[in-house]
Amino acid sequence: MSDNDDLVFIDDEQQPAEEPNEAPPWRILVADDDEGVHDVTRFALATVSVLGRPLALLHAHSGAEALVMLRQQPDIAVILLDVVMESDDAGLRLVEAIRSDQSLANTRIILRTGQPGHAPEAETISRYDINDYRTKAELSERRLLASLTMAIRSFDQLQRLDAHRRGLEMIVSASNQLNAKPGVRAFAEGLITQIAALVGVPADGLVCACAEKPTQAGDGIQHQVIAAAGQFAPLIHHRLNEIDDPRIRRALQGALQERASHIGRHSATLFFAKTADTGFAAFVGSAQPIPPIDLELIEVFCSNIALCAKNVDLVAELRRDAFVDRQLALPNRNALIVELNRRAQVAPHGDGVLAVVDVDQFATVNDILGQHYGDLVLQRAAARLRERFAPPAFVARLAGDAFAIVGQHDELGPASIRDCFASPFVLMGIQQPLSVSAGVVHLNAGFRAGGEYLADAYLALKRAKASGLAQVVTFTADLANEVRSRARLLDDLRRAFQGRQLHLAYQPQIDLASNRVVGVEALLRWCQGDGTMVPPADFIPIAEQSGLIIDLGRWLLREGLQGLHRLRAAGVPDLRLAVNVSAIELRHPEFASNVQTTLRDLAIPAAALELEITESLAIGNCEATIEALAALRASGVTVAIDDFGTGYSSLAYLDRLPADRLKIDRSFVATLPDEDRNPRIPRTIIALGRELGLRIVAEGVEQQSVATAAHALGCHEAQGYHFARPMPEAELIDWLQTRPSADA
C-alpha cells in the first residue's frame, strides 16, 4: 500500500451517542463449591475494569455445572477454578475437558487450591496450558487482580490472533471469489458482500468509483456510483453528490480524496487504490455496531481487493478479445456460440437458421494473388455479408475464410446466400468473381448447445464443398446418419485391417497381340466376419479421407510383391504387378522412398511394379508429386493412368504426366465394337495415347467382340471378366497353370 493510502480509524461524528461504556465485558467464570469464595470474589471484582472493559462474573458450584456454562458461553475469558469440588479431581477433569475442546482453547485458567497438598504437578500445568495457580489463602484482592489482568490480556491476544487468521482466510477467499466475477458491476456488488463479511455485519452498502484524479476542491462531480446494493440500490449510476445521506456522501468523498479507509462504529468506508491517481471507495453501513477489527487486516484486504479490481479490468479486456475477430471486426466463433445459445433460450423452436459460409477456392486466390489480396477479399466478403444480413441477423467469422450467419428461415436461404456474391468484387482494379458454398441448419431442435448446431452446419458445408462450387446443402437427419454410418464403417475397416481381414485379389492383364498374361492388378478385398464383401468403392474413399489408406497402401504393396515371389515359386513366369495408388498416398512425402525400400527389401526388380494412378492427380498442380513419380519411373517402376476418359477431361495434362500406360475406362471400352454408339472419343484417345508413345490398356473387357475391336483399334493390352475375374492368389496360380498356352 502506498504512503498516501494511510488507514485511519475514526468515530462517526454523525452517530447518535451510545450508552456509556458500551464495550462488552470480559466474562469471568468462578467455579468453586465454597459459596464463601464466590462472595469474596464478587466483592473484590465489583468495580474493576480491565483494558477498558468491565468484568461480568458467572458462578458455578461444580465441575459439571461449569462445563455446561462454558459450552453455552464460549467467549469466557478466564475461569477461576477450584481443584476439589464434587470430587478430588473435579477441577482437573474440567481443565481436561476445556483443553480438548478446540473452541475453548483460548479461555485462560487460574487454579485455586484449598491446601498446598492439592497443587497440580508442574507437568499438568504445562500440559493443560494453566495460567496460574494459587492457594486460596494466597489470593489476596490485589494478587487476584494482577493474576486476572494478565490472564485477560493473554486471552485477548489469543482471540485477536484467531480473528486475524480468520480474517486472512477470508481475504484469500474474498479475492478468489471476486476474481471470478465477470465485469466491474458484478465485482463491485460482490465487494459489498465481502466487506460486510470482513467487518462482521449484514451486507448493505454501495460502491463508488472514481475514474479521474479527484479534485482537491472535493466537489465529487466526477465520482459516480458504479454499484449499489440493499437499501442503496437505487443510487446506481448516480453522481456521488446526488446521494441524499450526507453521512454516506461525506464518507465516500473523504475516502476518495484522502485515499484512505475509515472504520466507524456503524460504517466502514474502504479505499482501494488502482493506480497512483485512480481508485474507488466502498461504503458499508450497519445498524449493528461494527466489532473492533484489526487495522492491518483492513490494509491487507484493501490492497488485495485493489489487485483483484485490476484483474477485473484485464479480464474485461481479455473477454473483448475472446469474442471479437480483430482482423475483420466481426464477432468470432465464441460469440457465435453465445448467440446461438441465447437464441435457443429465447425461441427454442423458432424458425431461425444458421448458415456456415465458405469462400470457394480462397486458398488458391490467396496463393496466386498474395496474402494481402486475400485479406482484402475477406474484408470485402465480410462487408457484403454484414450489409446483406443486417441485424437482427448475426454475422460472425469462424476461421480463415469461413463465416457464420444466423437469421430467420425466410431471409437466409440458398438463394439469398448465393445472391450475396453474385456480382463480382472489384479489388485493386481487378474484377474478382467469388462464389461461396454453405451448410445450413435449422435452429428448431430445441435446447441444443450452440456448438452442436455449428457442428451440423459444418457437416452440411463439407457435403456442399464436396459437390462442387457455389453449393448450399441443408443439414438433415439422413445426412447425420450417413456420416455416422461412415464413421462406423471406418471403425470397422480399421479393425479389419488390424485383424488381417483384408486380402488381395489379382486380375490378369493380357497382351492382345500374343494373348499372354503380362501382369496382374492387385485389388483390395474386405470380407467381413459374416462373409459379406464390402466393395472397394465403399471403403476406399473412407480410407482415403481418414488417412488410413497410407498404412493400407504400404501393407498392400509389400503383400502384393511378396505374392510375386510365391507366383514364381509356383512356376509362373515373371509377371508385372499393378497396384492402385490414390492421390493421398502419392502426396505423402515418403511415398517414393517407401516404394524403393520395399522393392529393395524384397529383392524385386523395379520393372516388375506398375503404379496405377488417376489422371485427376495431375490437376492438383502438385509439382512435388509429379517429381516423385518421375523419380520412380527413372528407377524402372512403370506408371499407368487409370480410368482414363472419366473425371476431368484432361488430354492437355497427358504429356505432363510421366506415364507408360493408359487404361481406358470400361465405360468407353464397352462402346468400342459398336459403330452406332459413337466410339469416336475412345478411338481418339487410343490414337492420341499411341501418338504420345503410351501403351494402351482396355479395361473391363467382358466379350470377345470387345477384345477384338480393342485390338483392331490399337489397344495393346486388355483386362476384364472376359479373360478372368479378380481372384485370390491360390486361384490365380491354378488359373495361370491351366490356361491354354500363349500365342494361341
Binding-site ranges for Ca ion (CB under 5 A): 580, 612, 642-643, 699
Rounded Cα–Cα distance for residues 194 and 188 (Å): 10
Closest to ligand C2E by CB, 101 vs 544, is 544
Does 726 participate in binding ligand C2E (rule CB under 6 A)?
Answer: yes
For strands 267-273 and 262-263, give the pairing: antiparallel
Rounded Cα–Cα distance for residues 657 and 618 (Å): 7
Q: Which stretch binds ligand C2E (CB under 6 A): 12-20, 187-195, 433-441, 530-538?
A: 530-538
Does 524 participate in binding ligand C2E (rule CB under 6 A)?
Answer: yes
DSSP output for 612-634 = EEETHHHHT--HHHHHHHHHHHH
Q: Which stretch binds ligand C2E (CB under 6 A): 12-20, 298-306, 386-394, 533-541?
A: 533-541
Min separation Cβ 556 and Ca ion, Å: 12
Does 720 participate in binding ligand C2E (rule CB under 6 A)?
Answer: yes
Q: What sign for the dihedral angle of Cα 733, 734, 735, 741?
A: positive
Helix (H) or strand (E) holding 346: helix 333-346
Min separation Cβ 412 and ligand C2E, Å: 40
- Nearest 5°: the CA angle 94, 98, 104 is 150
Min separation Cβ 329 and Ca ion, Å: 51
Closest to Ca ion by CB, 492 vs 610, is 610
Q: With CB cut-offs between 5 and 8 Å by kind, which of ligand C2E, Ca ion, none does residue 202 bind?
A: none
Q: Which stretch binds ligand C2E (CB under 6 A): 360-368, 482-490, 564-572, 576-584?
A: 576-584
Q: Which stretch binds ligand C2E (CB under 6 A): 105-113, 596-604, 689-697, 719-727?
A: 719-727
Does 536 participate in binding ligand C2E (rule CB under 6 A)?
Answer: yes
Q: What sign for the dihedral angle of Cα 168, 170, 175, 176?
A: positive
Does 580 participate in binding ligand C2E (rule CB under 6 A)?
Answer: yes
Q: Which stretch binds ligand C2E (CB under 6 A): 111-119, 350-358, 535-543, 648-656?
A: 535-543
Min separation Cβ 739 and ligand C2E, Å: 17
- Determine how many CB atoms are found less than 10 A away from the CB of residue 371: 9
Min separation Cβ 554 and ligand C2E, Å: 11
> Which of 98, 298, 540, 628 touches ligand C2E by CB under 6 A?
540
Q: Is 399 helix (H, G, I), strand (E, B) or coil?
A: strand
Gap between the terminal Cα atoms of the chain: 105
Hey, what's the cell of 118?
Answer: 492439592
For 124, 165, 277, 724, the CA distances from 669, given in Å and listed in that order, are 111, 92, 87, 16
Q: With CB cut-offs between 5 and 8 Å by kind, which of ligand C2E, Ca ion, none does residue 511 bind?
A: none
Closest to ligand C2E by CB, 305 vs 505, is 505
Does 438 participate in binding ligand C2E (rule CB under 6 A)?
Answer: no
Rounded Cα–Cα distance for residues 541 and 593 (Å): 24
Task: Confirm if 134 and 112 have CB atoms less than 8 A apart.
Answer: yes
Min separation Cβ 666 and ligand C2E, Å: 6
> Hey, what's the torsion of the CAs at 343, 349, 351, 355, to 10 degrees?
60
Min separation Cβ 644 and Ca ion, Å: 8
- Residue 537's Cβ-count burial label (10 Å; 0-12, 13-18, 19+) is exposed
Min separation Cβ 558 and ligand C2E, Å: 12
Rounded Cα–Cα distance for residues 503 and 154 (Å): 89
Task: Confirm if 177 and 265 have CB atoms less than 8 A apart.
Answer: no
Q: Is 28 helix (H, G, I), strand (E, B) or coil?
A: strand
Rounded Cα–Cα distance for residues 186 and 198 (Å): 18
Min separation Cβ 720 and ligand C2E, Å: 3
Min separation Cβ 699 and Ca ion, Å: 5
Hey, what's the cell of 498?
Answer: 488390424
Q: What is the CA radius of gyration of the chain?
A: 46
Task: Confirm if 516 and 742 have CB atoms less than 8 A apart.
Answer: yes
Closest to ligand C2E by CB, 91 vs 726, is 726
Total residues binding ligand C2E (CB under 6 A): 21
Rounded Cα–Cα distance for residues 183 and 188 (Å): 9
Does 508 participate in binding ligand C2E (rule CB under 6 A)?
Answer: no
Does 642 participate in binding ligand C2E (rule CB under 6 A)?
Answer: yes
Does 535 participate in binding ligand C2E (rule CB under 6 A)?
Answer: yes
- x/- track of binding to ligand C2E for residues 686-705 (CB under 6 A): --------------xxx---
Closest to ligand C2E by CB, 217 vs 537, is 537
Binding interface with ligand C2E (CB under 6 A): 507, 523-524, 535-537, 540, 556, 580-582, 612, 642-643, 666, 700-702, 720-721, 726
